[in-house]
Amino acid sequence: MSTALTPFLIVAIPFGFYHLYVFFLRLLRPRPPYPPGPRGYPLIGDLFNEASKNVEQHEWARYLKMGKEYNSDVLHINVLGDHKLILNSAKAADELLEKRSGLYSDRPQFHMMSGLCGWHWHFATMSYSNTWRAHRKTFHQDFQAKAISTYCPFILRSTSNFLKKLAPAEYSPLHMLDIEHAELDSYVRNYAGSTILRAVYGMSTQEELDDYVGLAHLAAESLIATMNHGSFFVDYLPWLKYIPAWFPGASFKQKANTWAPMVSNLINEPWKRLKSSMANGTALPCFATNNLERSNPVSNLDVDPIKNNNFDPEIEEVIKNCSAAAYFAGSDTTVSLVMSSILALSHHPEVLEKAHEELDRVIGTSRLPELHDRDKLPYLQAFIKEVERMYPVAPLSVAHRVISDDIYDGYFISKGTTVIPNIGAILHSEELYQDPLNFNPDRFLQNDKDSKLSPDPEIVAFGFGRRICPGRDFALDSAWTLIACLLATCDITGPSEEAQKNSRKPDPVLDYFDGLVVHPKPYKCQIVPRSITALNLMKAGYENQM
């Protein structure tokens, strides 16, 4: 043996014995048990149950049922050594994700989403780090509640365009036509997309909007499918990402290869267009240009950084990433909330009638409602809260990760555990909401001095702690404006008898596509102007009010 190794061995051997000692000490030292959950099998844990999920049952509902079986509001699931903690109650979520946010603000590694599909730039899934803080700060300063009034004109303009598209050529109360889900979804998606894209990139032409909405629609499939940790087994076994796409069972790799170019186009193509318009002086003021102007240029101060596209590369990268992420922070959530609201109204004529009465009494019939009317319309606000509760846009919030060992309620939570707030379970809790499967906006209204209000669903619907959705205020303002205008001008009812005979009647509680952001499965309804005056308002939009 070479004498050169002797000093190394003198240090290494005691060091090795020390770690062996620590290992056995941990084995012998008693620690609290893991929270209740399926025991699974040695090494593989609960792999079989996770692999054979019931596609007919929503994931949040499956975890809620499991919590009742184990009589616990926290569940522990082990899959291939990957520890997962499910939080089925507001109490557990508040204690861990709010009060201990310093420990629980990290994210697990999304190997399928970030590593294979190319979503690494999306700060919603970045690790809790200085890089994430820079992104969060940049986004928050322009999308916090007190800042988004800047975008109000864009919301009103997009609402006007939506109403004009929806308006029939003439008023005909006896001629009610079913509107197809695809057509309605297209209108709502175009509304939400045009609003956020004008705010973020300064896009104003229909061609620009159509191009980006098309890019986002293609890329969104991969985001929705992969952002729930564990949706693909490569999240549990990272080495699977090195398997070639042709290998048997590697269909996830084929999907990733299809999705990755779409994700790349989503972030790069609009940015190239923006930089080009900045160079030729045609760029409109927006989130991206405002942040670039605030950044420090690399070149001499005498050189115009906007015209020469000369910015600090690191700062520009943050602004570019935040701009692309904004679409999903403020658009897809709006689409989900609006489409769920229309579905709920088509099934609850008594709710529609109350909303109409309030709007007519407070706003009248000569103008459209605006955001400053919100506090004067408590029933409309209660209706939207009940939609948020009954049909939360993200029933399973984006997973958190604990950065060190912790103890909760006598249970052990190991470092690196993936923590999933079950928002769907919390918002359907019988302890918090009486008769939770009943759609009832009145639960959020103070009907008498003794009545007890149900907890506001917005407290949990958009996430927790330092990872709460930063685009929630923009999404809620956008959704409120469109829903208020629809109710002020239109009757919304279920499909005609003929349409109901030709298709199964949708259940507004169960008929949803699973994923990060959920959307109702295709449905039909009837949307018609309430009167000739209402039709004229739809055709005029906000042109006389702006």
Q: Are 226 and 117 in contact (CB under 8 A)?
A: yes
Q: How many CA atoms lie within 13 A of 163 on its CB side?
A: 29
Asked if residue 286 belongs to a known ligand binding site, the reply is no
The tokens describing 310, both together, are: 């000369």
Strand partners, 106: 401
The conformation of residue 478, written as its DSSP 8-state character, comes to H
Strand partners, 422: 396
DSSP 132-167: HHHHHHHHHHHHSTTTGGGGHHHHHHHHHHHHHHHS
Helices (H), 280-376: 287-294, 305-308, 313-327, 333-347, 349-362
Q: Alpha-carbon distance 546 to 543, whole Å?
A: 6
The tokens describing 490, both together, are: 């239109």
Phi and psi, residue 507, nearest 5°: -95, 115
DSSP 210-271: HHHHHHHHHHHHHHHHHSSTTSSGGGT-GGGGGS-TTSTT-HHHHHHHHHHHHHHHHHHHHH
Q: Provide the 10 A C-beta neighbour count for residue 517.
A: 20
Among 260, 227, 254, 253, which Cα is nearest to 239's?
A: 253
The tokens describing 460, both together, are: 């949990």
Strand partners, 45: 41, 79
The tokens describing 464, both together, are: 């927790």
Q: Are 340 and 387 in contact (CB under 8 A)?
A: yes
> ∠ at Cα 312 (308, 318), nearest 5°?
115
User: Which residues make up each annotated binding site?
Assistant: 469
User: Which residues make up each annotated binding site for heme?
Assistant: 469
